[in-house]
Structure 1
Amino acid sequence: MPADRIDAVASLAHRRGFAFPSGEVYGGQPVAWDYGPLGVELKEHVRRQWWRTVVQHRDDVVGLDAAVIQPRPVFTASGLLDTYTQTRVRCRACDLTQPLDRIVEAFTVRREQPAAALAELACPSCGSRGSFTDPQRVNGLLEVSPDRPGPPDRYYLRPEAAPGTFVNFANVMIAARKKPPFGIAQVGRVFRNVVGPGEFLLRSHERERMELEYFVEPGTDDDWLEYWAQRRWEWYVDLGLAPQQLRRTEMPLAGLPQHAKRIVEIEFQLGGAYQEFVVLEGITNRADYDLTAHAKHSGADLSYFDQDRGERWVPYAIEPAADLTATVFALLLAAYDEDEAPNTKGGVDKRTVLRLDPRIAPVKVAVLPLSRNADLSPKARDLGAALRRRWMVEFDDSQAIGRRYRRQDEIGTPYCVTVDFGTLTDDAVTVRDRDTMAQQRVSLDQVERYLLERLPTG
Structure 2
Amino acid sequence: MKYKIDDIIQHLKMFGFFFQGSEIYGGLSNTWDYGPLGVELKRLIKDLWWTTFVTRNEYNVGLDSSILLNPKVWEASGHVNNFSDPLTDCNGCKSRYRADQLIEEQKPDFDYSKLSNEQLKEYIDKEKIICPSCKKANFGEIREFDLLFQTQIGVIRDKKSEVYLRPETAQGIFINFKNIQRSMRLKVPFGVCQIGKSFRNEITPGNFIFRTREFEQMEIEFFYKPNDKTDWFQIWKLEIINFLENLGINLENISYLEHDEKKLSHYSKKTLDIEYNFPFGIGELWGLTSRTDFDLKRHQEYSKKSLEYLDPKTNKKYLPYVIEPSVGVDRLIFALLCDAYSVQKLKNNEERTLLKLKPIVAPYQFAILPLSKQLNANAMELWKKLLPKFRCTFDTSGNIGKRYRRQDAIGTPFCITFDFDSLNDKKVTIRDRDSMNQERISIVSLKETLKKLVNN
TM-score, scaled to structure 1? 0.92
CA contact (8 A) 1:221 1:285 kept: no
The answer to whether structure 1 residue 91 and structure 2 residue 90 are counterparts is yes
Describe the shift of the 1:17–1:136 C-alpha distance in structure 2 as closer, same or farther (beyond 3 A).
Answer: same
Q: Which runs of 5+ in 1 are unaligned?
A: none
The answer to whether structure 1 residue 208 and structure 2 residue 216 are counterparts is yes
Q: How big is each residue's C-alpha offset from its partner over 1:258-301, in whole Å with a ceiling of 9 and x where there is no partner?
A: 11111111100124xx3x21111111111000111101111111
CA contact (8 A) 2:145 2:203 kept: no
- The one-letter code sitting in structure 2 at the alignment partner of 1:125 is S
Distance (Å, rounded) in 1 between the aligned partners of 2:109 and 2:27: 33
- Equivalence for 1:106: 105
Q: How many residues are matched?
A: 446
Distance (Å, rounded) in 1 between the aligned partners of 2:237 and 2:208: 27
- Equivalence for 1:126: 134
- The one-letter code sitting in structure 2 at the alignment partner of 1:355 is K
Distance (Å, rounded) in 2 between the aligned partners of 1:25 and 1:121: 39
CA contact (8 A) 2:30 2:208 kept: no
Describe the shift of the 1:109–1:60 C-alpha distance in structure 2 as closer, same or farther (beyond 3 A).
Answer: closer
- Equivalence for 1:180: 188
Q: Of 219, 224, 230, which residue of structure 1 is paired with 2:232?
A: 224
CA contact (8 A) 2:20 2:27 kept: yes
Q: How big is each residue's C-alpha offset from its partner over 1:408-458, in whole Å with a ceiling of 9 and x where there is no partner?
A: 00111011111111112111111111111111111222222211112159x
1:429-444 alignment runs, 5 A limit: 429-444=428-443
Q: How big is each residue's C-alpha offset from its partner over 1:319-377, in whole Å with a ceiling of 9 and x where there is no partner?
A: 101111110000000111122346xxxx352111111111111111111111212xx00
- Equivalence for 1:16: 15
Describe the shift of the 1:137–1:98 C-alpha distance in structure 2 as closer, same or farther (beyond 3 A).
Answer: same
The answer to whether structure 1 residue 363 and structure 2 residue 356 are counterparts is no
Equivalent position SS for 2:445:
helix
The answer to whether structure 1 residue 282 and structure 2 residue 283 are counterparts is no
- The one-letter code sitting in structure 1 at the alignment partner of 2:168 is E
Q: Of 132, 144, 150, which residue of structure 2 is paired with 1:137?
A: 144
The answer to whether structure 1 residue 307 and structure 2 residue 312 are counterparts is yes
CA contact (8 A) 2:149 2:201 kept: yes
Equivalent position SS for 1:184:
strand
1:39-438 alignment runs, 5 A limit: 39-109=38-108, 116-118=123-125, 120-130=128-138, 132-147=139-154, 152-196=160-204, 198-220=206-228, 223-271=231-279, 274=280, 276-341=281-346, 347-373=348-374, 376-438=375-437
Describe the shift of the 1:197–1:147 C-alpha distance in structure 2 as closer, same or farther (beyond 3 A).
Answer: closer
Distance (Å, rounded) in 2 between the aligned partners of 1:243 and 1:182: 28
Distance (Å, rounded) in 2 between the aligned partners of 1:219 and 1:228: 18
Describe the shift of the 1:221–1:256 C-alpha distance in structure 2 as closer, same or farther (beyond 3 A).
Answer: farther
Cα RMSD of the aligned pairs, angstroms, is: 2.3
TM-score, scaled to structure 2? 0.93
Superposed displacement of residue 24, structure 1: 1.3
Q: How big is each residue's C-alpha offset from its partner over 1:140-167, in whole Å with a ceiling of 9 and x where there is no partner?
A: 1111112269993321111110110000
Equivalent position SS for 1:82:
helix
Equivalent position SS for 1:339:
strand
Describe the shift of the 1:341–1:402 C-alpha distance in structure 2 as closer, same or farther (beyond 3 A).
Answer: farther
Distance (Å, rounded) in 2 between the aligned partners of 1:179 and 1:153: 38
CA contact (8 A) 2:414 2:430 kept: yes
CA contact (8 A) 1:86 1:99 kept: yes
CA contact (8 A) 2:16 2:37 kept: yes
CA contact (8 A) 1:71 1:154 kept: no
Distance (Å, rounded) in 1 between the aligned partners of 2:201 and 2:444: 55
- The one-letter code sitting in structure 1 at the alignment partner of 2:149 is L
CA contact (8 A) 2:345 2:351 kept: yes
Distance (Å, rounded) in 2 between the aligned partners of 1:412 and 1:305: 51
CA contact (8 A) 2:205 2:213 kept: no
Equivalent position SS for 1:128:
coil
CA contact (8 A) 2:103 2:124 kept: no
Describe the shift of the 1:203–1:28 C-alpha distance in structure 2 as closer, same or farther (beyond 3 A).
Answer: farther
Further displaced range: 26-35 or 147-156 = 147-156
Identity %: 35
Superposed displacement of residue 4, structure 1: 4.3
The answer to whether structure 1 residue 26 and structure 2 residue 25 are counterparts is yes
Describe the shift of the 1:319–1:238 C-alpha distance in structure 2 as closer, same or farther (beyond 3 A).
Answer: same
- Equivalence for 2:116: none
Describe the shift of the 1:105–1:222 C-alpha distance in structure 2 as closer, same or farther (beyond 3 A).
Answer: farther
